[in-house]
Structures are given as structure tokens and as C-alpha cells.
């Protein structure tokens, strides 16, 4: 997938672009329905499926309250778009000047810069200054500027409309199983393995890899059965503790992973952790021996759950990645 930073850097227009517009944080199953329709339409006309998105997230710039934490890094989002069949992503720099653009000016800018055949949007899409541009307005501009507009209805799972905000809330509650259903894959965080306090191996007999991650949404404090990919390799079984290590009187949040099959020195390596199941809350134990017993029980339960997961026909879809050319 080609990644273009702004229309100004688009040197060759895609052939008959079919464009979908949005931020697509998390690229969840609702977004995937939009991507599917974009790819389908492009295939029908011999065109190119294109995403037009923004960086940073608009609410990072415009929110008057707490900024939303994002479900994926820019790099991860690009991988997910590519894995959904998108061939070109154009990422606009979202500035206050961009936010102040009149909806008409935005539509003209796109039509002039891309010459799109079709625009595909979600049911609640709005655009332009103050989000004043409605879907009806977009359709009106399409009639004037020569592009068609298709609207994709929301995806409902277990009676709830799938949204990035719902998934963020579920993750902060530790509901990684339901989050995976809404994402269409395991939620993951990635980063670099850094030195910790070395208690996992030397004191407890369960060596751990501490992850320094740029990911903004970390699942709730607790213990999880996970798969881990080291340096892009095959998924390995593991147990992750997200927490404060209360037994050792720590008060800084850590994400530490014990791989069930020893992997040697991991310091400095890139690791991605995929949250499959929540095992339990974090607890304070009366002694190190009690903690060690519980960790043994955690690893047994994790092994059982992860073995079951590997037996599913759709297991590999949980580790979606896609090639990009930045």
C-alpha cells in the first residue's frame, strides 16, 4: 500500500479512485464493512480503493475536554488498512486551518486533487468546519462535482453499535474478549523490551520481558493470556501482567510478559502483545511463595486457553498485518 502525506505529495492520481473518508481508529469491524464496500466498488469499475484520513486525530486538536486515547499507532493503522485491501492511503495534516475549511471547499479540494469516481462513508459521517457537512450535503456536492456517494450502515454486535469509543471503554474494563469480537482480531500493543527489576526470573522463577510501548490504550490492570510476536516472528504463548506489582510495593504501571517457552535475552527487541483472555485481577499476596503458586496456576490456565485458540480455523486472522510503502 502506498502512503501519501497530503494531496500535495500525490504525484500520480490513482486510476478511478473509490475513496473512503474517516479517521478509522482501530479499524474495527464497522470500519471493515466500509473498506469492503470501497474495495468492491473499485473492483467493479477497475478502479483503486483509497483511504483519505487525518493525522493527528481531530479530537487531539479540537477536544475541549480529555483527549481520546487511540486504539492504534499510525504505523499499525496503516498495516490494518493495507490488510483490508486498501491500495493508497492519503493522510492529511490535521491543523486548525484544515479544521476551519468550509465543507464545500473540502469537497472541491478532494474532487480536484483526486477526481474520484465514488466516495464511500459511514452512516454518521460529517465533515468540514464544525462538522457542518452532512451526508446529504456530500451527495449534493457529488451531483455538482461528478462523483457518487455510497453510505454504509452501522455494524451491530450483541445489540450495540460497534464504535472506537465502545472498544476503548471495554479495554479499560479489561474486556479483551469482547473487544476482539468488535475489532475482528485480538487487541495488541507493541514496543521495545526494556530492562525491569529482574524479580520475575531471579525471585519468582518466571522471567519476564518489560515492554515500553507508545500505545495509548492499555487494557485494565490484571493478568492476561496473550500471544506475543518478537521481531515480527510467529506468535508465542505468554502471560502478561498489566499492573503495579503490589506484592513488591510498586506504584508505576508496567506491562510485563512471561513467555511460556523460554526465548533467551529479549532486551532491545521489538515485541507485539495480543490480548486473548483475561485471567484475573491483580492481587497483593501475603508472600512471594503465594505469588509464585498463583503464577504457576496462571501459566497452566493460559496454556490451556491459548491451545484452544490455536485450534480455531480463523486463528491466523488475529494477527493481521499488511505491507506499506511510506
pLDDT, one tens digit per residue, over 152-170 is 999 999 999 999 999 999 9
Q: Considering 141, 157, 173, which residue would you say is the last residue of a domain?
A: 157
CB 271 within 8 A of CB 230: yes
Give the 3-state secondary structure of residue 228: strand
Task: Give yes or no for residue 202 having a pLDDT over 50.
Answer: no
Task: Give how far Cα 60 sits from Cα of 56, 68, 74, 322, Å.
Answer: 7, 7, 14, 26
Domain co-membership, 130 together with 40:
yes
List helix spans (H) across the chain: 29-45, 58-62, 74-83, 96-99, 103-114, 135-145, 164-172, 176-183, 199-202, 288-310
CB 65 within 8 A of CB 118: no
Domain co-membership, 139 together with 227:
no
Domain co-membership, 90 together with 137:
yes
Domain co-membership, 18 together with 152:
yes
Assess if residue 140 is contained within a domain: yes
Domain co-membership, 153 together with 191:
no
Band of residue 251 on the pLDDT scale cut at 50, 70, 90: low
Assess if residue 320 is contained within a domain: no
Give residue-wise pLDDT tens across range 52-104: 999 988 878 777 666 789 999 999 999 999 999 999 999 999 999 999 999 99
Residue 201 pLDDT: 47
The least confident of 99-108, 209-218, 232-241, 281-290 is 281-290
Residue 160 pLDDT: 96
The least confident of 70-79, 111-120, 310-319 is 310-319
CA–CA separation, 41 vs 36, rounded Å? 9
Please give the residue that has the higher pLDDT: either 60 or 19.
19
Domain co-membership, 142 together with 191:
no
Assess if residue 177 is contained within a domain: no
Residue 112 pLDDT: 95
Give the residue among 19, 72, 8 at the shortest CA–CA distance from 45: 19
| Number of structural domains the chain divides into | 2
Task: Give how far Cα 172 sits from Cα of 10, 205, 289, 290, 319, Å.
Answer: 39, 30, 30, 27, 21
Please give the residue that has the higher pLDDT: either 200 or 273.
273
List the CATH number of the domain containing 199: 2.40.30.30
Assess if residue 165 is contained within a domain: no
pTM of this structure: 0.90
List the CATH number of the domain containing 125: 3.40.50.620
Max mean pLDDT range (140-149, 235-244, 285-294): 140-149
Band of residue 326 on the pLDDT scale cut at 50, 70, 90: very low
The least confident of 27-31, 58-62, 247-251 is 247-251
Q: Considering 107, 140, 157, which residue would you say is the last residue of a domain?
A: 157
Residue 314 pLDDT: 85
Question: Which residues lie below 8 Å from residue 263, measured CB to CB, with a gap of 6+?
Answer: 230, 236
Assess if residue 206 is contained within a domain: yes
CA–CA separation, 48 vs 64, rounded Å? 37
Domain co-membership, 142 together with 276:
no
Residue range(s) defining the domain that contains residue 128: 2-157
Domain co-membership, 27 together with 99:
yes
Domain co-membership, 103 together with 146:
yes
Amino acid at each position: 500500500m502506498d502512503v501519501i502525506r497530503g494531496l500535495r505529495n500525490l504525484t500520480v492520481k490513482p486510476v478511478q479512485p473509490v475513496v473512503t473518508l474517516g479517521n478509522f481508529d482501530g479499524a474495527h469491524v464497522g470500519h471493515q464493512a466500509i473498506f469492503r464496500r470501497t474495495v468492491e466498488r473499485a473492483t467493479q469499475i477497475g478502479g483503486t480503493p483509497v483511504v483519505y484520513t487525518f493525522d493527528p486525530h481531530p479530537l487531539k486538536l479540537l477536544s475541549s475536554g480529555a483527549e481520546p486515547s487511540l486504539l492504534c499507532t499510525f504505523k499499525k493503522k496503516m498495516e490494518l488498512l493495507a490488510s483490508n485491501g486498501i491500495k493508497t492511503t492519503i493522510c492529511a495534516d490535521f491543523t486548525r486551518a484544515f479544521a476551519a475549511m468550509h465543507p464545500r471547499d473540502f469537497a472541491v479540494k478532494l474532487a480536484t486533487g483526486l477526481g474520484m469516481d465514488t466516495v464511500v462513508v459511514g452512516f454518521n459521517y460529517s465533515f468540514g468546519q464544525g462538522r457542518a457537512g452532512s451526508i446529504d450535503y456530500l451527495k449534493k456536492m457529488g451531483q455538482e462535482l461528478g462523483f457518487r456517494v455510497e453510505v454504509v450502515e452501522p455494524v451491530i454486535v450483541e445489540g450495540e453499535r460497534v464504535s472506537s469509543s465502545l472498544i476503548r471503554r471495554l479495554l479499560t474494563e479489561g474486556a479483551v474478549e469482547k473487544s476482539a469480537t468488535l475489532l475482528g482480531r485480538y487487541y495488541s500493543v507493541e514496543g521495545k523490551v526494556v530492562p525491569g527489576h529482574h524479580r520475575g526470573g531471579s525471585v519468582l522463577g518466571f522471567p519476564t520481558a518489560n515492554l515500553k510501548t507508545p500505545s495509548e490504550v492499555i487494557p485494565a490492570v490484571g493478568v492476561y493470556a496473550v500471544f506475543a510476536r518478537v521481531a515480527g516472528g510467529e506468535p508465542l504463548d505468554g502471560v502478561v501482567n498489566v499492573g503495579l506489582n503490589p506484592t513488591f510495593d510498586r506504584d508505576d504501571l508496567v506491562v510485563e510478559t512471561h513467555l511460556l517457552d523460554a526465548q533467551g535475552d529479549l532486551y532491545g527487541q521489538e515485541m507485539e502483545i495480543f490480548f486473548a483472555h483475561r485471567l484475573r485481577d491483580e492481587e497483593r499476596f501475603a508472600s512471594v511463595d503465594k505469588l509464585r503458586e498463583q503464577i504457576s496456576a496462571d501459566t497452566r490456565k493460559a496454556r490451556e486457553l491459548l491451545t484452544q485458540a490455536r485450534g480455531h480455523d480463523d486463528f491466523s486472522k488475529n494477527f493481521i498485518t499488511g505491507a506499506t510503502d511510506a
